[in-house]
Chain A
Amino acid sequence: MKQKINHTCFYALVFVVVFLSLLPYLWFLNTSLKTPIEITAIPPKLFPSGSLEFYISAIKEYNLMHFVKNSTIVASLTTVITIFISICAGYALARLRIRYKGFIMGSLLLVSMFPQISIAGPVWRIMQSLGWLNTYQGVIFPYVTLTLPLGVWILASFFKELPEELEDAARVDGCSHFQALFKIIVPLSAPGVFTATILVFIYAWNEFFFALLILTEKKYQTLPVGIALFQGQYEIPWGEIAAASTVATIPLVLLVFFFQKKIIRGLSAGAIKG
């Protein structure tokens, strides 16, 4: 009997936690599928009418598709560049004999902790002088810098787990260091590379601060900036904001549901093994 009470309590607790985690998000999703009248209804309607007019309005009046395009390009390019550089640096730190290894890892960690404001001004000035304000590279370069610590830490810890003899065997078989890295090590750390890719992509997709500073023209703005700055003519266009938010977050929610195991593993690898 005690077991049963224990069980029900536990599942009740689980339910509460899940409910609280998802409720605000589901509420927003729900809002996006309503009509303008339904949004302002009191008591709030639990079940939306399924109307897509806010989505259409968001696309037509509020440039939603531009935001999506920009976010996709920026996040994808950032991810590709960061992962490549992280593989190289992560391998060097995991395997090769370098002095000051702790120092390098420590300073990378520090970089990931920087308050963005500390580098915002100078980064903005650099972009301005290069003519890179309102361009993709203007945000990609800072994004790569900010995601490198994450990528390097995750990949270095995955590389460390591989047996050292594999690279020895590859070198005896005739591979150069570089060949051994990309022919043997990288394929074997595919899970780690994949996890790092997901985490870097999520970070780049969600980044707001630098996008806000560097992308001031609507044409180039990413989703977070667009959603934050949604201005209606007379009042806040909640319906469109909700629609835009849903579009912005569907890819992420899908990523999370399909890859929660890998994501969790990647985050813990970074945190605990470090």
Chain B
Amino acid sequence: MSVIVKNLTKSFNGKKVIDNISFEVSEGEFCILLGPSGCGKTTILRLIAGLERQDSGEIFIDGKEVSNLSPGERDIAMVFQSYALYPHMNVYENMAFPLRVRKLSEQEIDKKVRETARLLNIEELLKRKPKELSGGQRQRVAIGRAIIRNPKLFLFDEPLSNLDAKLRILMRVEIARLHQKLRTTTIYVTHDQVEAMTLGQKIILLNEGVIQQIGTPEEVYNEPANLFVASFIGTPPINLLEGIIEADTGGIYFKSGDIVINLESLESLREYAGKEVTAGIRPESLVPGQGPFSGIIEHIEYIGAEKILYIIPAGKSPSNRVDILGPKITIRTTSTFQGGRGESICFSVDTSRIHFFYKGLRII
């Protein structure tokens, strides 16, 4: 049960929300549509669901072009951000509803409802109304209503954003487990990159209606296609430095202000000599302790298993004002790190793990 989307374009009120989007989702794949708010991910989902009509482009579900089919005819199920449970029906009726619409017999309906309820551990809730349920329970009922029909495609629209942090993690695992069990093709929309990285087999990253990159979580993290992808994925975000490549007979260097990084092994950068590039260094690729670079620790975040250091690099004078947007470097290190606010620190770079971006696109 695969999904193929070709050249989808959609505008609202004259503004183009998605522009010539094409991608494929293979049978049984868990695909994530990821991006900041307004990037068009929910629009794409709704187009696939049939709740909106595209301006141009085609949608194929299981080989069939479905643009003229109503949502009910596409054999899909959707879990909404607010769960959209029917408030005037109890849990049993909510789950039975899609089956009733398709005119299944009462016995079949009863069997399926109880099966699904058992699968999701909500059997004791069958007689309750949605307003009597907690957020997590409502979530599960919404999922129950979605899977009860055994549709060919699941669509999830930011289903976890209304849950508190702890519950979110639990439900994430449940959704992953469900997918393992049912193996239904799933398209899942979220703006939370942690969710995307932990749940997805394929991530489609979007910004302003345009696909930035399609890949597995590893690909998207280790081989970001452009600056946007690199800065969107990863917490804390990647350190970005703007500077110039300098090359001479001795070697190749990257210069940003007073910081100079020796890039001996990266011969391929020679052709960029004299050009402005952006260097991207993940916080875990910086090693505190010894090294050619120095700075002052402005702030330390202690997260239990590790520490995040916020450094003002040497050459930029620390001011007495609270300068939130000033140039900082973040370093991710072990929790045993010794050091405090205001102290100087030295650090080095793992040069094998630097990304370089020229005109927005990654070159290394």
Q: Do A and B come from the same complex?
A: yes
A residues touching B (Cβ–Cβ < 8 Å)? Answer: 163, 165-166, 168-176, 179, 184, 187-188
Docked-complex contact B88 and A169, CB < 8 angstroms: no
The proximity string for B residues 205-246 relative to A, scoring 1 for CB distances below 8 Å and 0 otherwise, is 000000000000000000000000000000000000000000
Known contacts A173-B98, A175-B101; is-contact A168 B84 (Cβ 8 Å): yes
Partner of B78, one of A168, A176, A187: A168
Give residues 35-69 of B contacting A (CB, 8 Å): 46, 49-51
Q: Does B102 contact A (CB under 8 A)?
A: yes
Question: B279 within 8 Å of A by Cβ?
Answer: no
In this complex, the member of A163, A170, A171, A174 whose beta carbon has the largest number of chain B beta carbons within 10 angstroms is: A174
- The reply to whether B78 and A174 form a contact with Cβ atoms under 8 Å apart is no
CB-CB < 8 A to A172: which residues of B? 49-51, 71-72, 76-78
10 new A-B contacts, CB < 8 A, other than A174-B98, A179-B101, are A163-B84, A165-B82, A168-B49, A169-B84, A169-B145, A171-B72, A172-B49, A172-B77, A173-B72, A174-B101
In B68-100, the 8 Å CB interface with A consists of 70-72, 76-78, 80-82, 84-88, 97-98
A166 engages B86 (CB within 8 Å): yes
From B49, B70, B85, B88, give the contact of A187 (CB < 8 A): B88
Is B97 in contact with A173, judged by CB distance below 8 angstroms? yes
**Please, which residues of chain B bring their CB within 8 A of the CB of A171?**
50-51, 70-72
Task: Tell whether, in the assembled complex, residue B102 and residue A174 are in contact, meaning their CB atoms are under 8 Å apart.
Answer: yes
Central interface residue in B85, B101, B102, by most chain A CB within 10 Å: B101
Asked if B88 and A174 make an inter-chain contact with CB atoms under 8 angstroms apart, the answer reads no
8 CB-based A-B contacts, threshold 8 Å: A168-B49, A171-B70, A172-B76, A172-B77, A173-B72, A174-B98, A176-B70, A188-B88
Given contacts A173-B72, A174-B101, A179-B101, contact A188 B87 (CB under 8 A): yes
Closest to A166 in B: B84
Which one of A163, A166, A172, A184 has the greatest number of beta carbons of chain B within 10 Å? A172
A110 to B76, CA, bound (A): 44
Complex Cα distance, B81 from A169, in Å, reads 11
Contact A169 B80, beta carbon cutoff 8 Å = yes
Among candidates B49, B72, B80, B87, residue contacting A175 with C-beta atoms closer than 8 Å: B72
Q: Helix, strand, loop or mixed for chain A's interface? A: helix
> CA of A188 to CA of B49 in the docked complex: distance in angstroms?
24
Give bound CA distance, A184 to B98, whole Å. 12
Tell me, rounded to whole Å, the shortest Cβ–Cβ distance linking A156 to chain B.
20
Decide yes or no: A168 and B80 within 8 Å by CB, A174-B72, A187-B88, A188-B88 being known contacts.
Answer: yes
Residues of A within 8 A of B86 (CB): 166, 169-170, 184, 188
Closest to B85 in A: A169
Chain B residue with the shortest CB-CB distance to A179 = B101
Residues of A within 8 A of B98 (CB): 173-174
Which has the most chain B C-beta neighbours within 10 Å: A169, A176, A188? A169
Q: Which of A163, A170, A173, A176 has the most CB of B within 10 A?
A: A173
A179-B78 Cα distance, complex, nearest whole Å = 18
Residues of chain B within 8 A of A188, CB atoms compared: 86-88
B-chain residues with CB within 8 Å of residue A166 when the two chains form the complex: 84, 86
State the CA gap A220–B86 with chains docked (Å). 46
Q: Are A165 and B71 in contact (CB under 8 A)?
A: no
- Inter-chain contacts of B102 with A (CB < 8 A): 174
State in angstroms the CA–CA spacing of A249 and B357 once bound together: 82
- Chain A residues within an 8 Å CB radius of B78: 168-169, 172
Nearest Cβ on chain B to A164's Cβ, whole angstroms: 9
Find out whether the CB atom of A173 lies under 8 angstroms from the CB atom of B82: no
Q: How far is the CA of A172 from the CA of B86 in the complex (A)?
A: 13
Question: What's the Cα separation between A176 and B84 when bound, in Å?
Answer: 17
Given A176-B70, A188-B87, A188-B88, check contact A168 B101 (CB 8 Å): no
Contact between chains at A168 and B145 (CB < 8 Å)? no
User: In the complex the two chains form, what is the Cα distance from A171 to B144 in whole Å?
Assistant: 17
- Please measure, in the bound complex, the distance between the C-alpha atom of A176 and the C-alpha atom of B50, giving whole angstroms: 12
